[in-house]
Amino acid sequence: MKIKKGISLIDQHDQFGFWGGKFGGSFIPETLKKPVEDLTKEFKKLRKDKKFIKKRDYYFKSYIGSPTSFIKLENLTNHLGGAQIWAKVVSEANGGAHKIYNATVHALLCKAMGKKYIVGDTGAGYAGKMLSMAAKKFGLKCKIFMGAKDIKRQKPNCDAMKKNGAEIVPVYSGSQTLVDAVSECMRYWVSNCDNTHMCVGSTVGPNIFVKICGWSTAQISRELKAQLKSEFKRIPKKIKLINCVGGGSSAYGFWSEFIDFDKKQIELIGVEAGGPKKSKLHAAPLSRNAKIGILHGAASYVCQDNEGQINETESISAGLDYPGVSPIHCFLKDTKRARYTYATDEEALNAHVMVTKFENLNPSLEPSHAFAEAIKIAPKLNKDTIIIVNSCGDAQKDRDILKERLGKI
Amino acid sequence: MTSLINETFKKAKNMSRPALLTYTVAGDNTKKKSLEILKSISAYADICELGFPHNTPIADGGQIQTSAYRAIKNGIKINDVFAIAKEFKISKKTTPIILMGYYNMIYQYDENRFLKKCKNSKIDGLIVVDFPYPENKNFSKKCKRQGINFIQLVSPTTSSIRLKRIIKDSHDMIYYISMLSTTGGKLKVSPRKILENYFKIKNQNKSKNVVIGFGITEKTIKSLKKADGLVVGSAICKEISKSIKKRQNAVTNVTNVVRRLKNKII
Ligand SMILES: Cc1ncc(COP(=O)(O)O)c(C=O)c1O
């Protein structure tokens, strides 16, 4: 298994959609073959269409607010006394997280395909909020599937979805979290694929959804590459790009431009949700050695039992609370291009506390997992090492959880 | 040698009626009960489909999900499903049994080991909901080598080129999904339209047995009786749920439903 240079990772799959011969694919019911094929053709055409690219770039700039800033966290760096710590503040993007890139592209695709309805899944509520925003902007009717447990714990984002005129469909099956929301959303699409477009909220699901999402979030690393050059004159000699990984859309977007670099120069570190310290449950299929399985139409490392039943997961962060992960990250893991680890709920909370104490930055619980790893390794490194954390979400949505766990507002 | 599935369709045809296919979830609500239900309904059902319960079934609606979650909660394992099927085949040698499930179960069990176990349990056919054509080509060949019918699905969205290819590579039976829906949906397409689509498939190769499934209930079954076979699933699972809730005998109640279904098509 090998990564090819000079070709975008999203295109390095075989004719059946598998990366490295075994991750990804399209394990879908027959009914979805046609809509998936239609979408695949449309995307293939549009991504080469100069007018479409122009349109995308226009909305990325004028609507999403690209580029998001790249800043040095001076106080945190001084406090930890090792490597330099920087942040790419993707939470500045319209809506407060990277999910807006994928949502915007899906809304544009939906329009291009002449569909008037768009549906999507959400865990932390950001994917849902952003899809509802994009739907409103482009005049589409929008339905969001969300686990009942997540509706309770991510209320601010639910309020935003409703304000944007989207219907939230609560999902009560299973663990009532993201995994169930994605299942229910796919079921809805099976029944309504003739007039409805589906957006998968991360780089997961059948092959084409992995590609579209990765293509959308890749904007983050295009910006970062330019910002690195302007800040340091050239790409520094020792960089560590640290990103939380739920489905993996933010991490892929943060890394895509840098995958061809030698890992001694640019190390890619993915941080999964380790769950509560005392719990056996987690949402870390890559770093805790789950086996390959099929979930939501793709083969990936999946938290499951040896009979193929999907395991319940547990994480303080709704956005990372998912038993599967992108096939692209499985590929990056097996080729050893990226390294994956996890942070526990407690470590993420502590990281959130430390970052907000030292910096004018308010990372949500998802990127707080990435900060936990940065805080862990920075003191052991010297100041020539540039750690960059993707601060991909704003903690506004987590205010209830933070209040409960930390007693603050 | 012709398959038991083929023979069964022939018999029904000779009686000028469609074959009745039932779907129940293995282990719903216990291993013992689901075997009893199978044995009892096979007095009326021509072919029994037995579902592997899965906890993330992306193509199933509420009724079958409920049955599956119930079975899993009661501890059903893959080997139990085979044990139920095997036991059933010992007493009902001439009733074909078709296992139905999601690909991850087969993948975890290992394809070859799974098929060996199928053969050993006298399984007649397999339906894998999320393993479409052409990805399933190799597996379908493996099934054939073991004398197991791999049943291809086609749907209203299947293009005509695709349909031709699928039919060409299919075994004895093809499953036509009546409408855009998960299992358990209300029939939202007219029976006339469904049959029109059905004959587009059937007329391409008359030797294939084409069945219609999804949305078939006691109310709708009669209108589709021109098909080679009709599959009823959610209506049966719903009856099991109802019986459990009312603390009634699920075996009797479900058997009554299946008997009434059969009476509507003879
Ligand atoms: C802020 C934020 N970060 C990260 C994630 C995890 O998703 P992904 O791994 O696809 O970036 C989510 C998901 O909801 C999120 O809202």
A32-84 pLDDT, tens digit per residue, is: 999 999 999 999 999 999 999 999 999 999 999 999 999 999 999 999 999 99
Q: Is A34 on the interface with B (CB under 8 A)?
A: yes
| Helical H segments across A295-334, by residue range | 327-334
Task: Give the end of a domain, one of A214, A245, A260.
Answer: A214
Distance CA B181, CA A298 (A): 21
Q: Which domain holds residue A117?
A: 27-60+98-214
What's chain A's average pLDDT?
A: 97
Distance CA B68, CA A218 (A): 40
Please give, one letter per residue, the 3-state secondary structure of chain B.
CCCHHHHHHHHHHHCCCCEEEEEEECCCCCHHHHHHHHHHHCCCCCEEEEECCCCCCCCCCHHHHHHHHHHHHCCCCHHHHHHHHHHHHHHCCCCCEEEEECHHHHHHHCHHHHHHHHHHCCCCEEEECCCCCCCCHHHHHHHHHCCCEECEEECCCCCHHHHHHHHHHCCCEEEEECCCCCCCCCCCCCHHHHHHHHHHHHCCCCCCEEEEECCCCCCCHHHHCCCCEEEECHHHHHHHHHHHHCCCCHHHHHHHHHHHHHHHHC
Residues A41 and A164 placed together within one structural domain of the fold: yes
Is residue B60 annotated as a catalytic residue, yes or no? yes
In-domain check, residue A180: yes
In-domain check, residue A167: yes
Q: Which among A33, A292, A304 has the least Cβ separation from residue B157?
A: A33
Assess whether pLDDT exceeds 60 at residue A409: no
In sequence order, the 6+-apart residues with CB closer than 8 A to the CB of A37 are none
Distance CA A109, CA A104 (A): 9
Q: Considering its fold, how many domains does chain A have in total?
A: 2
Q: Please report which confidence band the pLDDT of residue A381 belongs to, taking 50, 70 and 90 as the band edges.
A: very high
Q: Please report which confidence band the pLDDT of residue A132 belongs to, taking 50, 70 and 90 as the band edges.
A: very high
B29 prior amide bond cis, ω within 30? yes
In-domain check, residue A381: yes
Task: Give the end of a domain, one of A191, A214, A237.
Answer: A214
Assess whether pLDDT exceeds 70 at residue A124: yes
Which ipTM score applies to this complex?
Answer: 0.97
Assess whether pLDDT exceeds 60 at residue B153: yes
This model's pTM is above 0.80: yes
Q: How far is CA A68 from CA A208, A351, B69, in A?
A: 27, 22, 45
In-domain check, residue A44: yes
Catalytic choice (B28, B46, B60, B239): B60
Q: Please report which confidence band the pLDDT of residue A174 belongs to, taking 50, 70 and 90 as the band edges.
A: confident
Residues A51 and A152 placed together within one structural domain of the fold: yes
Q: Are A220 and A250 in contact (CB under 8 A)?
A: yes
Contacts for B187-191: CB closer than 8 Å, 24+ residues apart:
B187/B215, B187/B216, B187/B217, B187/B220, B188/B215, B189/B156, B191/B220, B191/B223, B191/B224
Residue A408, pLDDT score: 62
Residues A368 and A398 placed together within one structural domain of the fold: yes
Show the tokens assigned to A319.
């956005």
Residues A91 and A113 placed together within one structural domain of the fold: no
Residues A204 and A113 placed together within one structural domain of the fold: yes
B134 prior amide bond cis, ω within 30? yes
In-domain check, residue A2: no
> Edge-to-edge, what's the strand order for the sheet holding B173-177?
B149-150, B125-128, B97-101, B47-51, B19-25, B229-232, B209-213, B173-177, B152-154
Residues A162 and A226 placed together within one structural domain of the fold: no
What does the pLDDT average to over B75-81? 98
Residues A309 and A263 placed together within one structural domain of the fold: yes
Q: Are B102 and B130 in contact (CB under 8 A)?
A: yes
Greatest Cα pair distance, chain A, in angstroms, is 58
Residues A331 and A385 placed together within one structural domain of the fold: yes
Catalytic choice (B28, B46, B49, B80): B49
Residue B37's nearest CA partner among B198, B183, B243, B180 is B243
Residues A279 and A308 placed together within one structural domain of the fold: yes
Residue B156, pLDDT score: 98
Partners of B131 on chain A (C-beta within 8 Å) are 27
Is residue B172 annotated as a catalytic residue, yes or no? no
Distance CA A69, CA A286 (A): 30
In-domain check, residue A11: no
What's chain B's average pLDDT?
A: 97
Residues with CB under 6 A from ligand 1: A 97, 99, 123-124, 126-127, 202, 244-251, 319-320, 364, 366-367, 392-393
| Helical H segments across A193-307, by residue range | 207-217, 219-232, 249-255
For residue range A199-242, what is the model confidence (pLDDT) as tens digits? 999 999 999 999 999 999 999 999 999 999 999 999 999 999 99
Task: Give the end of a domain, one of A214, A234, A268.
Answer: A214
Question: Domain with A31 in it: what CATH number?
Answer: 3.40.50.1100
Per cent of chain B over pLDDT 70 is 100
| Least confident stretch, A169-178, A385-394, B11-20, B77-86 | A169-178
Distance CA A291, CA A257 (A): 28
Q: Please report which confidence band the pLDDT of residue A147 belongs to, taking 50, 70 and 90 as the band edges.
A: very high
In-domain check, residue A373: yes
CB contact under 8 A, B156 and A193: no
For residue range A258-299, what is the model confidence (pLDDT) as tens digits? 999 999 999 999 999 999 999 999 999 999 999 999 999 999
Residues A70 and A193 placed together within one structural domain of the fold: no
Residue A243's nearest CA partner among A230, A261, A224, A227 is A224
Residue A217's nearest CA partner among A341, A337, A130, A121 is A130
Partners of B60 on chain A (C-beta within 8 Å) are 187
Q: How far is B144 from chain A (nearest CA, A)?
A: 21
Give the number of residues written for chain B. Answer: 266
Residues A174 and A72 placed together within one structural domain of the fold: no
Q: Which stretches of A239-290 are assigned E, i.e. beta strand? A: 239-244, 266-273
Q: Is B15 on the interface with A (CB under 8 A)?
A: no
Q: How far is A280 from chain B (nearest CA, A)?
A: 20
Residue B1, pLDDT score: 67
- Residue A363 phi, psi (nearest 5): -70, 140
Residues A73 and A155 placed together within one structural domain of the fold: no
Task: Give chain B's domains with CATH numbers.
Answer: 4-265 (3.20.20.70)
Name the helix (H) or strand (E) containing A168: strand A167-171
Residue A7, pLDDT score: 98
Distance CA A229, CA B245 (A): 67
Q: Which among B54, B55, B181 has the least Cβ separation from residue A190?
A: B181
In-domain check, residue A13: no
Per cent of chain B over pLDDT 90 is 99
